[in-house]
A and B are shown apart, each in its own frame.
Chain A
């Protein structure tokens, strides 16, 4: 069980949140060429790192916002870095 640092609400219980998964894949929307491999990578391929992971959480039973946080997947420690939601 984690205490998740919501930038709007402070540290809240994990059960208030819905997991949004890895935040790093970006949809290749608006690309000129139709590149299947880019869509494949976006939908299916994951780094699945043992270490720092940027991920999305939805504070469903709180402020209702999507937030982006960085967590060490080996320790579950949240790390405040420049890519996290301020």
Chain B
């Protein structure tokens, strides 16, 4: 691999930067692989990377119907945190956060991970008690968490309106200082480059039409570039998981919903953390370029049209303005939506399916980006060891059969409420 460093930058400068080599792609599709990964987003590429790096399995192909990282990897709001209450969710996200902390060095690719801190606002005594309970639970598990009172919050974030006159007065916040953001595209590119270097073949514009299944075992994948035999198939396609599962005769316990996000014109630095507003849902952070990235709840009905209504934008923006009145005249530049796969209990679905050797990594809903390194790590281990990685085991696809759902929100088997 051509390593990126100050020295290599200087050396290429002598040649006017004309001799940088391509970072992935360019190898032909073979007729057989040990592992075929469907989906070239962050999760799929991370799975390929850790298969090669941790387990020495590099006869691996990643097939992506569009371009790398063009799905939900590109559409999320890039927030990273591990402030979860249930044990399985918290340990998984914390493992991811620890991998994030070393990811740029690991990949020799700047993923611009910025631990600017994550603030979860409480608007009532009840929420404060609930957040204190969650913070204590997190600390008990060795995860950093602090409870901020209103004065501490105002010192940390001078722009926020903490006056009692605001529509939903702020009572305090849960603060995770290690939380933050990362550059979403760089995550896909960094993993792709590192995986390619270890021998993984990556194919863009290579959609999957179906699977070859003998008995109850998957033996190959029919792609738009031809049939490929595979010992193991990992499906990592987020919102389109049900559609690929259907091609293998599998019904998944999830539904797909569009989620919108939107971005303002670029401003000078104004918001120095990631903030989550909790009377209704709205979240905001500022990119390194200066734009404010915002998002909120799901669109109110499931589907595959990656577009949303103005109601959601108005809803989110009106909540943001109650805490940041100074932003009321900022203009939005762009809006977009991604298709989130929301499972029946709101927690991901990882591992084996009813078709042997066909593994799924799906059901991430809102929470996929922050989990990217851990999802790759645990799926790779699950493939290599032939048994679920301990962190992924609680999220098995069969857990609903066994009565072990992970309902972080406690709302029951209704995806639209998670």
Contacts from A to B (Cβ < 8 Å): 1-2, 14-15, 19, 21-22, 36, 40-41, 43-50, 53, 55, 71, 73-76
With A50-B304, A55-B301, A75-B305 in contact, do A40 and B252 touch (Cβ < 8 Å)? Answer: no
Does B254 count as interface, using CB distance less than 8 angstroms?
A: yes
Does B255 count as interface, using CB distance less than 8 angstroms?
A: yes
Min CB distance B345 to A, Å, is 9
Q: Which of A15, A50, A53, A71 has the most CB of B within 10 A?
A: A50
> A44 and B301: CB pair below 8 A?
no
Across-interface contacts of B17 in A (CB, < 8 A) = none
Give 18 new A-B contacts, CB below 8 A, not counting A43-B344, A73-B303: A19-B416, A22-B302, A40-B400, A41-B251, A43-B413, A44-B344, A44-B400, A45-B251, A45-B253, A46-B255, A47-B242, A48-B242, A49-B242, A50-B240, A50-B304, A71-B303, A73-B305, A74-B304
Across-interface contacts of A41 in B (CB, < 8 A) = 251
Min CB distance A13 to B, Å, is 9
**B residues 205-246 in Cβ contact with A at 8 Å:** 240, 242-243, 246
9 inter-chain pairs at a CB distance below 8 angstroms, sorted by A residue, are A1-B309, A21-B416, A40-B401, A41-B251, A48-B254, A49-B242, A55-B301, A73-B256, A73-B304
Partner of B300, one of A19, A46, A48: A19
Across-interface contacts of A47 in B (CB, < 8 A) = 242, 246, 251
Q: How far is the CA of A74 from the CA of B307 in the complex (A)?
A: 10
With A21-B416, A47-B246 in contact, do A15 and B304 touch (Cβ < 8 Å)? Answer: no
> A2 and B305: CB pair below 8 A?
no
Q: Which 3 A-B pairs have the closest CB atoms?
A: A1-B309, A48-B242, A73-B303
Q: Mark B281-306, 1 if CB is under 8 A from A, else 0.
A: 00000000000000000001111110
> A44 and B253: CB pair below 8 A?
yes
Q: How far is the CA of A40 from the CA of B344 in the complex (A)?
A: 12
Min CB distance A57 to B, Å, is 8
What residue in chain A is nearest B405 (Cβ atoms)?
A: A44
Across-interface contacts of A21 in B (CB, < 8 A) = 255, 302, 414-416
What residue in chain B is nearest A44 (Cβ atoms)?
A: B253
Partner of B303, one of A43, A45, A76: A76
Does B19 count as interface, using CB distance less than 8 angstroms?
A: no
What residue in chain A is nearest B242 (Cβ atoms)?
A: A48
Min CB distance A79 to B, Å, is 13
Q: How far is the CA of A14 from the CA of B305 in the complex (A)?
A: 16
Partner of B301, one of A2, A40, A45: A2
Does B311 count as interface, using CB distance less than 8 angstroms?
A: yes
Min CB distance A66 to B, Å, is 15
What residue in chain B is nearest A50 (Cβ atoms)?
A: B304
Min CB distance A38 to B, Å, is 12
Across-interface contacts of B309 in A (CB, < 8 A) = 1-2, 14
**B residues 305-348 in Cβ contact with A at 8 Å:** 305, 309-311, 344
Min CB distance A74 to B, Å, is 5
What residue in chain A is nearest B307 (Cβ atoms)?
A: A76
Across-interface contacts of B303 in A (CB, < 8 A) = 53, 71, 73-74, 76
What residue in chain A is nearest B301 (Cβ atoms)?
A: A19
Across-interface contacts of B416 in A (CB, < 8 A) = 19, 21
> B311 and A46: CB pair below 8 A?
no
Q: Mark B382-418, 1 if CB is under 8 A from A, else 0.
A: 0000000000000000001100000000000111100
